[in-house]
Amino acid sequence: GENVEQHPSTLSVQEGDSAVIKCTYSDSASNYFPWYKQELGKRPQLIIDIRSNVGEKKDQRIAVTLNKTAKHFSLHITETQPEDSAVYFCAVDSGYALNFGKGTSLLVTP
Amino acid sequence: DAGITQSPRYKITETGRQVTLMCHQTWSHSYMFWYRQDLGHGLRLIYYSAAADITDKGEVPDGYVVSRSKTENFPLTLESATRSQTSVYFCASSGLAGNTGELFFGEGSRLTVL
């Protein structure tokens, strides 16, 4: 199946700083790249997604960038807040489902 | 107005026993999925279904069986539970082909196999 590498596995930032999480994938035919946020003990929820015909997408403090040539995409969170602390998963379409990265545990300290 | 629900939320069983995890969605979504979540592995696809009576294997299907006789239900059965199947199991559904649209996850079922 689609190989999705996600880095870093843990990330600690101070409140107000920016956080960047990167994912690489192997299948050049992939066209859909969502990001999910999972708070402790909760279900994963979609926070932003991007499709292959777009290079960047923003939604308030979060943004995703996509480089199809290099086969990587990134999640950017600006002005981080303690409530951004969670595990973030990138995902890539595999033709029938989503393949997820292993997750990044983000800790935002006040 | 529950959306997608899983039961039981917590289950402790013994090696060799059969366990069924239930998943029910009220949106009439065509696509349903079962993922397992383990530390260090993220979310791995066990089985998926594109419609009633259509199911197929994902990345880690061994030891699991699914069925989908009705659109709204997608039960996952562990025929003979093993300790390696201790995990958190998430059911998900999507109104679009599962690789192109938002997945809506259930709350998860935490299974411990002793």
Query: pLDDT of A33-47, one tens digit each?
Result: 999 999 999 999 999
Cα angle: A8, vertex A105, B36; to 5 degrees: 105
Residue stretches of chain B with pLDDT short of 70: 1-2, 98
**Would the CB atoms of B90 and A44 count as touching at under 8 Å?**
yes
Contacts of A104 in chain B (CB under 8 A): none
Nearest CA in chain B to A46: B102
pLDDT at B40: 86
B42–chain A nearest CA distance, Å: 4
Q: Which of B41, B90, B99 sits opposite A96 (nearest CB)?
A: B99
- Alpha-helical segments (H) within chain A: none
Q: Are B27 and B101 in contact (CB under 8 A)?
A: no
Q: Which residues have C-beta within 8 Å of that of residue A11, sequence separation ≥ 6?
A: A19, A21, A104, A105, A106, A107
pLDDT at A94: 86
pLDDT at B1: 57
pLDDT score of A26 more than 90: yes
Nearest CA in chain A to B109: A43
B34–chain A nearest CA distance, Å: 10
Q: Which of B42, B43, B102 sits opposite A46 (nearest CB)?
A: B102
B interface test, pick of A42, A98, A99 with most B CB neighbours within 10 Å: A98
Query: pLDDT of A51-85, one tens digit each?
Result: 988 899 999 999 999 999 999 999 999 999 999 99
pLDDT at A53: 83
pLDDT score of A2 more than 80: no
A88 to chain B, any CB pair closer than 8 A? The answer is no
pLDDT score of A96 more than 90: no
pLDDT score of A97 more than 60: yes
How many residues belong to chain A?
110
pLDDT at B98: 61
**Would the CB atoms of A31 and B44 count as touching at under 8 Å?**
no
pLDDT at A1: 56
- Alpha-helical segments (H) within chain B: none
Quick one: B63 exposed, middle or buried, by C-beta within 10 A (0-12, 13-18, 19+)?
middle
Q: Which of A31, A97, A103 sits opposite B98 (nearest CB)?
A: A97
